[in-house]
Amino acid sequence: MSAPAHGRTTKGSGMNWVGRAIRRLEDPALVTGNGRFTADLKAEHYVRFLRSPVAAGRLGKITAPDGAWLVTAADLGTVKPIVPMLSKFNYRAVAQPILPADAVRFTGEVIAALIAPTAEQAEDLVEETQVEIEETAPLVDSRDAVAAGAGALHAVAPDNVVVEGIVKTPEFDAAWAGAAKHIKADIRSYRQNATPMEGRAGHAAYDAATGRVTFTCATQMPHLMRTAIADILDMPEADLRVIAPDVGGGFGQKMSLTPEYVILVWLARKHRSSFSWTEDRRENLIGGFHARDQYVTVEGAFDANAKLIALKADVLSNIGAYSCFPTTCGVEPLMAMAEMPGPYDVRHYACRARGVATNTCPMAPYRGVSRPIITFTLERLMDKAAAAFGLDPVEIRRRNLIDSFPYTSATGLVFDEGTYKKTMEMAVEAVDLPAFRVRQKQARERGRYLGIGFSTFSERTGYGSPAFAARGMAITPGWETVHLSVDPSGFVEARIGASPHGQGLRTTLAQIIADEIGIEPQRIKVVHGDTDRAPYGWGTFASRSLVICGGATLIAARKVRAKLIRLAGQMLEADAGDIVLEDGAARVAGTDRAITVAALARESYMQTHRFKGETEPGLNETGTYDPGGTFSNACHVAMVEVDVETGKVTMEKFVVAEDAGRIINPMIADGQVQGGIAQGIGNALLEEIVYDDTGNILSTTLADYLPPTAHEIPPIELHHIETHTDASITKAKGIGEGGTIGAPAAVVNAINDALTPFGVQIDEMPATPQRIRAALRNAGHAA
Amino acid sequence: MTDKTAITLNVNGRDHAISVEPRRTLADAIRDNCGLTGTHIGCEHGICGACTVIVDGAPVRSCLMFAAQAAGKKIRTVEGLAKGDALHPMQQAFMDNHALQCGFCTPGFLMLAVGVLEREPDISDDDLIDVLSSNLCRCTGYQNIIKAVRAAAAEMRSK
> Which chain B residues contact residue A127 at CB under 8 A?
none
> Which chain A residues contact residue B82 at CB under 8 A?
32
Residue of A nearest to B94 (CA): A31
pLDDT greater than 50 at residue A12? no
B96: nearest Cα among B143, B140, B135, B147: B147
What average pLDDT does range A536-547 have in this prediction?
95
pLDDT greater than 70 at residue A3? no
Report how far residue A642's alpha carbon sits from residue A749's, in angstroms, rounded to the nearest whole number. 12
What average pLDDT does range A137-151 have in this prediction?
97
- Considering CB atoms only, which of B104, B135, B146 is closest to A198? B104
Give me the DSSP letters along A39-85: GGS--SEEEEEEE-SSSSEEEEEEEPPTT-EEE-HHHHTTPPPB---
In a domain, B130, yes or no: yes
Rounded to two decimals, the pTM is 0.96
Burial (CB count within 10 angstroms: exposed 0-12, middle 13-18, buried 19+), residue A654: buried
User: Which CATH number covers residue B94?
Assistant: 1.10.150.120
Q: List, for residues A542-592, the tens digit of each pLDDT value.
A: 999 999 999 999 999 999 999 999 999 999 999 999 999 989 999 999 999
**A561 to chain B, closest Cα gap in Å:** 31
**A334 contacts A354 by C-beta, under 8 angstroms:** no
Q: What is the tally of helices (H) and strands (E) in chain B?
A: 5, 5
Question: Which of the residues A1, A20, A25, A30 would you substitute to probe the B interface, choosing the one with the greatest number of B C-beta atoms within 10 Å?
Answer: A30
Give me the DSSP letters along A725-751: -TTSTT-B---SSHHHHHHHHHHHHHH
**A205 to chain B, closest Cα gap in Å:** 18
Residues 6+ away with beta carbon under 8 Å from A536: A223, A481, A497
> Which chain B residues contact residue A247 at CB under 8 A?
102
Q: Does A248 touch chain B (CB under 8 A)?
A: yes
A644: nearest Cα among A490, A755, A718: A755
Among B46, B78, B110, the domain-final residue is B78
In a domain, B83, yes or no: no
Give the single-character DSSP code of A502.
S
Q: Does B159 touch chain A (CB under 8 A)?
A: no
Q: Does B144 touch chain A (CB under 8 A)?
A: yes
User: Is B36–A33 a contact, with Cβ atoms under 8 angstroms apart?
Assistant: yes
Report how far residue A662's alpha carbon sits from residue A674's, in angstroms, rounded to the nearest whole number. 18
User: Is A671–B101 a contact, with Cβ atoms under 8 angstroms apart?
Assistant: yes
Give me the DSSP letters along A87-142: SSTT-----B-SS-SSEE-STT-EEEEEEESSHHHHHHHHHH-EEEEEE-----SH
In a domain, B84, yes or no: no
Residue A783: per-residue pLDDT: 57
Are both B42 and B71 inside the same structural domain?
yes
Phi-psi bin for A199: left (phi > 0), alpha (psi -120 to 50), beta?
beta
pLDDT greater than 80 at residue B31? yes
Report how far residue A576's alpha carbon sits from residue A125's, in angstroms, rounded to the nearest whole number. 70
Q: List, for residues A52-75, the tens digit of each pLDDT value.
A: 999 999 999 999 999 999 999 999
Q: Does A650 touch chain B (CB under 8 A)?
A: no
User: Is B105–A197 a contact, with Cβ atoms under 8 angstroms apart?
Assistant: yes
Task: Output phi, psi for A228, to 5 deg.
Answer: -65, -45
- The average confidence (pLDDT) of chain A is 96
Task: Provide the pLDDT confidence category of residue B2 given band limits of 50, 70 and 90.
Answer: low
**A15 contacts A520 by C-beta, under 8 angstroms:** no
A20: nearest Cα among A33, A9, A6: A6
Please provide the distance, in angstroms rounded to a whole number, between the alpha carbons at the two ends of chain B. 48
Residue of B nearest to A285 (CA): B43
CATH architecture of the domain with range A370-464+628-778: 2-Layer Sandwich (3.30)
What average pLDDT does range A727-733 have in this prediction?
97
Q: Does A493 touch chain B (CB under 8 A)?
A: no
Q: Does B146 touch chain A (CB under 8 A)?
A: yes
Are both B74 and B93 inside the same structural domain?
no
Q: Does A277 touch chain B (CB under 8 A)?
A: no
Q: Does B91 touch chain A (CB under 8 A)?
A: yes
Q: List, for residues A665-693, the tens digit of each pLDDT value.
A: 999 999 999 999 999 999 999 999 999 99
Please provide the distance, in angstroms rounded to a whole number, between the alpha carbons at the two ends of chain A. 39
Residues 6+ away with beta carbon under 8 Å from A592: none
Residue A13: per-residue pLDDT: 39
Are both B151 and B94 inside the same structural domain?
yes
Give the single-character DSSP code of A171.
T
Identify residue A350 by its one-letter amino acid code: A
Task: Provide the pLDDT confidence category of residue A10 given band limits of 50, 70 and 90.
Answer: very low
Residue of B nearest to A246 (CA): B102
Task: Provide the pLDDT confidence category of residue A493 given band limits of 50, 70 and 90.
Answer: very high
Identify residue A418 by its one-letter amino acid code: G
Identify residue A370 by its one-letter amino acid code: S
Are both B153 and B99 inside the same structural domain?
yes
Q: List, for residues B120-143, the tens digit of each pLDDT value.
A: 999 999 999 999 999 999 999 999
Least confidently predicted of A10-14, A300-304, B47-51, B152-156 = A10-14
Are both B58 and B96 inside the same structural domain?
no
- Considering CB atoms only, which of A278, A668, A674 is closest to B141? A674
- Considering CB atoms only, which of B91, B110, B143 is closest to A716? B143
Are both B13 and B73 inside the same structural domain?
yes
Domain residues of chain A, as ranges? Answer: 27-35+479-625, 370-464+628-778
Residue B159: per-residue pLDDT: 77
Report how far residue A114's alpha carbon sits from residue A125's, in angstroms, rounded to the nearest whole number. 6
Q: List, for residues A324-375, the tens digit of each pLDDT value.
A: 999 999 999 999 999 999 999 999 999 999 999 999 999 999 999 999 999 9
> Which chain B residues contact residue A124 at CB under 8 A?
1
Residue A781: per-residue pLDDT: 81
Are both B69 and B29 inside the same structural domain?
yes
Domain A27-35+479-625 CATH (choose: 3.30.365.10, 3.50.50.60, 3.60.15.10, 1.10.443.10):
3.30.365.10
**A496 contacts A477 by C-beta, under 8 angstroms:** no
Q: Does A686 touch chain B (CB under 8 A)?
A: no
User: Is A31–B144 a contact, with Cβ atoms under 8 angstroms apart?
Assistant: no
State which residues form the domain around B65. 5-78
**A528 contacts A499 by C-beta, under 8 angstroms:** yes
Are both B151 and B102 inside the same structural domain?
yes
Residues 6+ away with beta carbon under 8 Å from A77: none
Q: What are the residue ranges of helices labelled H in A658-697?
A: 666-685
B residues 95-114 lying closer than 8 A (beta carbon) to A: 95-96, 98, 100-107, 110
Q: Does B61 touch chain A (CB under 8 A)?
A: no
**B43 to chain A, closest Cα gap in Å:** 5
pLDDT greater than 70 at residue B1? no
- Considering CB atoms only, which of B2, B43, B103 is closest to A246? B103
pLDDT greater than 50 at residue A758? yes
Residue environment code for B101-121, b if the CB has 16+ CB neighbours within 10 A, otherwise e: bbbbbbbbbbbbbbbbbeeee
SS3 category, A641: strand
> Secondary structure of chain B: what % helix, strand, coil (to 5)?
40, 20, 45
> Which chain A residues contact residue B130 at CB under 8 A?
711
- Considering CB atoms only, which of B104, B110, B143 is closest to A713? B143
Q: List, for residues A73-130, the tens digit of each pLDDT value.
A: 999 999 999 999 999 999 999 999 999 999 999 999 999 999 999 999 999 999 999 9
Residue A8: per-residue pLDDT: 36
Stated as kind and residue range, the H or E segment containing A275 is strand A274-278
User: Total domain count for chain B?
Assistant: 2
Among B21, B52, B78, the domain-final residue is B78
> Which chain B residues contact residue A32 at CB under 8 A?
38, 78-79, 81-82, 87, 91
Residue A1: per-residue pLDDT: 33
> Which chain A residues contact residue B141 at CB under 8 A?
671, 674-679, 713, 716, 739
> ipTM for the complex?
0.98
Report how far residue A510's alpha carbon sits from residue A495's, in angstroms, rounded to the nearest whole number. 11
**A713 to chain B, closest Cα gap in Å:** 7
Residue A474: per-residue pLDDT: 85
Are both B68 and B95 inside the same structural domain?
no
> Which chain A residues contact residue B132 at CB under 8 A?
709-710
Looking at the DSSP bridge assignments, the partners of residue A470 are none
> Which chain B residues contact residue A716 at CB under 8 A?
141, 143
Residue A30: per-residue pLDDT: 98
**A744 contacts A368 by C-beta, under 8 angstroms:** no
- Considering CB atoms only, which of A32, A703, A713 is closest to B141? A713
Q: Does B11 touch chain A (CB under 8 A)?
A: no
Report how far residue A508's alpha carbon sits from residue B127's, in angstroms, rounded to the nearest whole number. 35
User: Is A198–B23 a contact, with Cβ atoms under 8 angstroms apart?
Assistant: no
Residue A15: per-residue pLDDT: 65
Are both B20 and B68 inside the same structural domain?
yes
Report how far residue B103's alpha carbon sits from residue A502's, in angstroms, rounded to the nearest whole number. 7
Q: Does A675 touch chain B (CB under 8 A)?
A: yes
Are both B19 and B38 inside the same structural domain?
yes
Q: Does A81 touch chain B (CB under 8 A)?
A: no
Task: Output phi, psi for A33, to 5 deg.
Answer: 80, 10
Q: Does A678 touch chain B (CB under 8 A)?
A: yes
Looking at the DSSP bridge assignments, the partners of residue A115 are A47, A69
pLDDT greater than 60 at residue A11? no
> Which chain B residues contact residue A674 at CB under 8 A?
140-141, 143-144
Report how far residue B9's alpha carbon sits from residue A30's, in angstroms, rounded to the nearest whole number. 24
Report how far residue A208's alpha carbon sits from residue A515's, in angstroms, rounded to the nearest whole number. 44
**A662 contacts A722 by C-beta, under 8 angstroms:** yes
Residue environment code for A563-584, b if the CB has 16+ CB neighbours within 10 A, otherwise e: bbbbbbbbbbebeeebbbbbeb
Report how far residue A383's alpha carbon sits from residue A394's, in angstroms, rounded to the nearest whole number. 9
Question: Which of the residues B30, B43, B78, B92 would you substitute to probe the A interface, choosing the one with the greatest number of A C-beta atoms within 10 Å?
Answer: B43
Residue of B nearest to A678 (CA): B141
Task: Provide the pLDDT confidence category of residue A782 given band limits of 50, 70 and 90.
Answer: low
Among B78, B110, B142, the domain-final residue is B78
Burial (CB count within 10 angstroms: exposed 0-12, middle 13-18, buried 19+), residue A123: middle
User: Which CATH number covers residue B25?
Assistant: 3.10.20.30
User: Is A671–B144 a contact, with Cβ atoms under 8 angstroms apart?
Assistant: yes
> Which chain B residues contact residue A26 at CB under 8 A?
103
Identify residue A628 by its one-letter amino acid code: G
**A520 contacts A593 by C-beta, under 8 angstroms:** no
